[in-house]
Amino acid sequence: MKHLSILLLIPSFFILFTCDTSQKPRTRKEAVRQWRDDKFSMFIHWGLYSQLGGEWNGERVVKGYSEQIRAHGNIPKEDYAQVAEEFNPVNWNPDSVCQLAKDAGMRSIVFTAKHHDGFNMFHSEFSEFNSVDATPYGRDVIKELADACDRHGLKFGVYYSLIDWHFPQAAPISSHNSDPIPPEHEEYNAQQITELVTRYGPISELWFDMGAPTREQSIRFADIVQKNQPFCMVSSRVSNDQGDFIVMSDNLHPDFKMEVPWQTPASMFDETWGYRSWQERGSVEDKVLEKIRALVRVVSRGGNYLLNIGPKGDGSIVPFEAEVLRGIGEWLRVNGDAIYGTSANPLGELEFGDATVKPGTLYLFVSEWPDDNLFKLPRLQNGITDAYLLKDNTQKLKAAAYEEGQLLKAPETIEPDSITVIAVEYDGEPDVLPATILQVADSVRLTPDNSIEFYSFGQPEYYSALRTTIKRQWHLQAESTAVYIPKMRYTDQEVDKFLNLEIDDTRQPVTLDTTETEHMEGYLSRVYPSKLFKLGGFGRCSLGLVHGRTSNIDPVFTWSLSTTHRWQSVRNWSSSTIVYGDEGEFTPTYFYQRMYSDTEKDYLIAIGSDDALQVWLNGEQLLLKNQKTPNTLNRDVVKLPLNKGHNELLVKIYNRFGGAPLTFIDYRLTQELYAKELPSLVLTAGEMTTLTLTLDNPPTVHEDLGLVNFEFWLEKK
C-alpha cells in the first residue's frame, strides 16, 4: 500500500491563481455561466451572536447552531438587544478577509447581512438594530466588505434571513424557523432587500434563508433582486421554486448530477456556523483534507462549494480556520485547473475517485490509488493524446483502449498524494457512450428504470425540498432497420399534461388528452379493502423521512413505528367520509389498509391529501410529492400493482402548515386508461437513436414531470 500524504508545501512558481474574477457579465446567460464556473466561495456567519461565542451567562448553549443562540439559549429579546452595546469588533479587517479568501482560492464572498436574530450588519433605514446605530463600532460592515471585495477582484454576495426574531410584527421564534411571513414583515423584508441591492454595488448572489413565504411573496422578493441587479443569482431558499440556483441542505451534496445550477453550503464544523469559543477543532491537516475532498465531490457532480468561517466577536478570524483555508488554497494553486470552469464527471462512477471535464481535458481525482496502477475510464471513446500528473506534467501515464473504454497505466515511480489529480488530454469533443443502451427487437418499454434521468430540486419551503425529475432520456439501438410506433398509456393523473418528445434533433409536442380510452386488464375482478387504520401524533419531519421500516409491513400491524403509538380503526373503506389527520404543524399521520385481490393486476385508486403525500404498496414507495395547493384537499390517482392475495397499503400525509390535514382513499374509480399513438419513426440498424421526454413550457425549470402512472413503449409496425 503506497503512503498517501496531503500536499501542503508548494513551489514558489505556483503563487498566483490564473483567474480574473472581476470580469463583469454582459448578459444574464453569461452571469449564470460565470457563477457556475467559480466553483469555490467563502461564506461568513458573523453578527451579534459572535460576541457570545456559544455561551450565555457563563454556560455553554449546546443545543443547535451558535448563530441561533438567542432561540436555543432562551435569551429574552431585551437582554439580547443589550449585547449590541458591547459589540465593537476592532479586529475586523475586510481587506484581510478578502486576502484570506484569495489565498484559499475562493472566487467570491457571501456575507450574513441579517441572520434570524434580526441584527443588521448594514445601516438600514428601517431598523435601528444595526451595526451603525446600535453598537459602539458604528460602521456599515456590508459597505466596507463590498468595497474591499471590489478592490481585491472578488465577487460579493449577501445572505438575508426571511425570518426575524427582533422585528415586532414577524412570526415568533419557533423550533424549526420555517415560519410564515405576515404582511407587515413582508413589507419590511422587501424594504431591506431593496436596500441591499441598490446601495452596495454589484451583488453576485442574494442568499435567502428559511421562512415559509407564500408563492406571491417569493416572487416579490426575487423580482426586487432581478429588477435592480439583473445579473444577481437568487438562492432557492427564497422558496416556491423562484430561485436561480438550488441550495442543498447544510453540508450535504447529491449523489447524482443535477441539470440546474446548484450549491452546497458547508460549515467548517457540522455543529455550528457562527463562532463557538469551545468548539473542538482537531488537526488542521485532517480538516484541510476533509474539505478538499468535499470540494472535489461537489464540483465533480457539477455544483459549487460555499465554505463558511465564523469570525470571533472582536472581528478576528479563528486561526485554525485561516490555516485550513490557506491549506486548501495551496492545493488549489497546483490543481485549480481541475476545479475552476469545469463541468461534471461525464464518465459516471469511477473505482478510484471522481472526475471533471473541460474541452479537450478530463481531470481525474484519485483518492484510492489502484494496486495495479491501472485506471479504467469506462465508455470513453475519444483517443487520448496525453496523460500526466497535474502537479508535474513530466510524470506521464500510458494510454490504451480496452473493450469498455480507455485505460491508463501509471508507472510505479509515481508516489500518490491524498488526492492525486491526473490530466487526460483527448481529441475532439467529449465522446462518452450512454450508461444504458436499449436493444430493440419487436418492442421495447421505456420506463424510469431504464432511462437516464435529469434532476432538480423543488423547494416550496425549507423542509419540503424534494428531488424532481425534469427530463428522461433513452438511447436505442435496433437489431435491424424497421418502423416503430411510439405508444403512451396514462390515467386521470396525467391528463392535460403537455410534453415534448425529442427524437434525436426532432421535437414533437404531445398533449395527453382523453380521446382514446381502454379498460385495464382484469378490471372486472374484485378487490376487497379492509378497514382503514390511522396512526399519528409524530413530531416534525422532512418529506421522505419514515418513522418506521416500510419493508416490515405485515397483516397484524407490527409495522415498526414507535411503540408509544397505536393503530386506531377509523372507518370502513366504503364510507364517503373525509378523514382528518393529526393537528399540529409538521405532524404527519399514517393511514394503513389491507386489501385482497383475486388476481395479480394493476388497480386505480384515488388518495386525498392537502400538504404533501407519500404512498407505499407492500413496502415499495409509489409516490412522494408536494401538493401545489396546500391546505386544500388534492386528489391523486395512483395505480397499484397488486399481488394476488393480500396487499398492504400505507399512506403518509404531511401537515406542514398547521390545522388537521384531510385525506380519503377511494376505491370506486372506473378502471380505465387513456391511450395515444404518435407518428411512426424509423430505427436504423447499427445507429443509436435518442428519445428525450420533457414538459412543454413548465412553470419553472424545477417542475417534476409528474408522470406517476405513465406508460411509454415502442412497438414494431
> Domain with 115 in it: what CATH number?
3.20.20.80
Q: What is the per-residue pLDDT across 101-123, written as a single tens digit (0 to 9) for each?
A: 999 999 999 999 999 999 999 99
Residues 165 and 301 both lie in one domain: yes
List, in order, residues 6 or more apart from 408 with CB less than 8 Å away: 374, 375, 377, 384, 387, 397, 398, 399, 422, 424
As beta bridge partners, residue 690 has 475
Question: How far is 618 from 248, CA to CA, in rounded Å?
Answer: 31
Query: In terms of Cα–Cα distance, which of 133, 157, 134, 136 is closest to 145?
Result: 157
- 398 and 452 inside one domain: no
- The reply to whether 225 falls in a domain is yes
Final residue of a domain: which of 404, 426, 448? Answer: 426
**If phi over 0 gives left and psi between -120 and 50 gives alpha, with beta otherwise, what is residue 360?**
left
pLDDT of residue 531: 82
For 664, the domain range is 527-670
Same-domain check for residues 111 and 258: yes
- CATH classification at residue 598: 2.60.120
Cα–Cα dist 242/458, whole Å = 10
Give the integer Cα–Cα distance in Å for 131 and 138: 6
Residue 454 domain flag: yes
CB distance 263 to 246 below 8 Å: yes
DSSP codes of every residue in 625-673: EE-SSTTS-EEEEEEEEEPSEEEEEEEEEE-SSSS--EEEEE-----EE
Does residue 696 share a domain with residue 603? no
- Residue 540 counted as domain residue: yes
Residues 76 and 90 in one domain: yes
Residue 521 lies in a domain: no
Q: Read out DSSP for 597-635?
A: ESS-EEEEEEEEESSEEEEEETTEEEEEEE-SSTTS-EE
List Cα–Cα distances, 427 to 220, 267, 348, 362, 381, in angstroms.
48, 40, 20, 11, 10
Rounded Cα–Cα distance for residues 615 and 51 (Å): 47
Q: Count Cβ atoms below 10 Å from residue 328 Cβ, excluding itself.
A: 23
Residue 20: how many other CB atoms lie within 10 Å: 7
Question: Which pLDDT belongs to residue 459?
Answer: 86
Kindly report the backbone phi and psi dihedral angles of residue 498, in degrees, each rounded to the nearest multiple of 5, phi listed first.
-110, 120
Same domain for 307 and 227, yes or no, is: yes
Phi, psi of 68 (to 5 degrees): -110, 30
d(CA 456, CA 448): 16
Residue 427 grid cell: 481529441
Distance CA 118, CA 136 (A): 18
Distance CA 103, CA 20 (A): 14
**Of 362, 394, 426, the domain-final residue:** 426
C-alpha cell read off for 527: 378487490
* pTM (two decimals): 0.91
In a domain, residue 11? The reply is no
**Residue with cell string 408522470:** 707
The candidate with the shortest Cα–Cα distance to 677, out of 513, 447, 470, 471, is: 513
Residues 218 and 238 in one domain: yes
How far is it, in rounded angstroms, from Cα 385 to Cα 362?
Answer: 11
Q: Determine the pLDDT at residue 565.
A: 56
> Residues near 239 by Cβ (< 8 Å), separated by ≥ 6?
162, 208, 211, 212, 213, 218, 459, 460, 461, 462
Q: List C-alpha distances in Å: 311 to 60, 219, 284, 302, 710.
A: 18, 33, 17, 29, 53
DSSP-derived secondary structure letter, 462: G
Check which CATH number belongs to the domain holding 465 and give it.
2.60.120.260
Both 136 and 263 in a single domain?
Answer: yes
The angle formed by the CA atoms of residues 588, 592 and 596, to the nearest 5 degrees, is 160
Cell of 187: 413589507
Per-residue 3-state assignment (H helix, E strand, C coil) for 4-68: CECCCCCCHHHCCCCCCCCCCCCCHHHHHHHHHHHCEEEEECCCHHHHCCCEECCEECCCCCHHH
Low-confidence ranges of the chain (pLDDT < 70): 1-22, 540-541, 548-567, 569, 571-577
CA angle 501, 505, 507 (to 5 degrees): 35
pLDDT of residue 579: 80
595 shares a domain with 502: no
As a whole number of angstroms, the distance between CA 651 and CA 281 comes to 44
Instruction: Determine whether 273 is exposed, middle or buried from the number of CB atoms within 10 Å of its CB (0-12, 13-18, 19+).
Output: buried
Q: Would you mind telling me the total number of residues written for the chain in this entry?
A: 717
> Does residue 464 share a domain with residue 378?
no
Distance separating alpha carbons of residues 62 and 60, to the nearest angstrom: 6
Residues 372 and 416 in one domain: yes
Residue partners of 646: CB distance under 8 A and separation at least 6: 555, 594, 595, 596
Domain boundary among 373, 401, 426: 426
What's the number of domains the chain is made of? 4
Strands 482-490 and 711-716: antiparallel
Does residue 571 belong to any structural domain of this protein? Answer: yes
Q: CB of 71 within 8 A of CB of 106?
A: no
Do 121 and 256 have their domain in common? yes
21 part of a folded domain: no
88 is a domain residue:
yes
Q: Rounded to an integer, what distance in angstroms lies between the CA atom of residue 451 and that of residue 474?
A: 5
